[in-house]
A and B are shown apart, each in its own frame.
Chain A
Amino acid sequence: MTFIPVLAAESGIVDALVESTRRTGETFGFNAWLFFSQIISFCIVAFLLQKFAYKPILTILEERRKRIADGLANADKIKQQLAESEQRYQEILTKANAEAQKMIDEARASAAVVKDRETQRAISEAEQILTKAREAAALEHTKMLGDLKREVGRLVIGTTAKVTGKVLTADDQKRLSEEAAREVAA
């Protein structure tokens, strides 16, 4: 029973609030139709700006951002590829250097072997030539010595025959020739 006056009192407060709001609105020029007109106007402006002003710009900004991001990503990728290529190039260069060094070493080693072999062969050939030359010289010497002995024997016999005035026998000639040969050999 007691809440009926309370409701009445509340209803009075609500009425007072509504009246106060209405008077405040009137004071500041509030008008429901104009208010709704302005809502529609603002909504139209917002819609048109979104469609014609923001969307194209935001789209191109997004595209540009994506393009820049892609460009940076590509630059990074190219940089990485360049670094990899550089590394590969260095590796190949190092490998080539190592192989070249190995080849040079091998060439040096084989050259040394060839040199030794050729030197040995040259020494051996030189020794052979010397030996042959010595043998030839010895033969020549022997031959010359034989010729000399014969010539000396012949001269001794001729000289002896002329000096003595007699004809020498074959034995005399043989003996004189042998004596002259011994003398020459000595």
Chain B
Amino acid sequence: MPEPMIQAIKLTKRYEDGLLALDHVSYDIFPGEVFCLLGANGAGKTTAINLFLDFIPPTEGEARINGINCHQNPLDAKRYVAYVSENVMLYGNFTARQNLDFFAKLGGKATLTKKDYYRVMGEVGLEEKAFEQRVKEFSKGMRQKLGIAIAMVKDAPAILLDEPTSGLDPKAGAEFLELLKRLKKQGKAILMSTHDIFRSKEIADRVGIMKEGKLVMQRTREELAHEDLQKLYLDYMEAGVTAPV
């Protein structure tokens, strides 16, 4: 049995104002697996991602990437993870290639050439004319694609996606899913927080529903095959908070 690449172990976060954002949440994500976290705003999806990136310290529990505690050894852990946010924000004055070059070098990929960058940008579906275009002129869809290109260049085994399809038009959303499928095939462990129930069902190997900081449901793709995910989600949202799974 392979080791989990992304692990939340009784992960808990209580903010200074007393808000319990995450309450003893546990899950494992294995290489080649996509885990989608569904939930309303404020359910704790983004908090979990922030804990994996050590932007905030956990109150209890552990976030691990490739077995490394993200809070105790953040730099080591972050060598194995790529992150794509809801709004991929890059340096607007730089071209797509310059942004890619900067983040690649930060990730230790110092030997990549212009050709390599063009190839990756082509693979994520960016048009050739956009390669040397300033990013401040990009649409959200183009920025998301470039964000994925950055993650691909980093070639990290774990990928964290924070509501990556929110605000994308249907075509851009579909293209984004295709990219995720390719990454999954490459063996990447992917954690995606999202509101998008339909795309989750299409791409996820497992789906979790979060409510008020608790992971109240987890289902595999097989289990979901005979269930209506939207109904399930609404049922959980309307019901009182149940014990964490």
| A, B: real partners | no
B interface with A by C-beta (< 8 Å): none
Residues of A within 8 A of B (CB): none
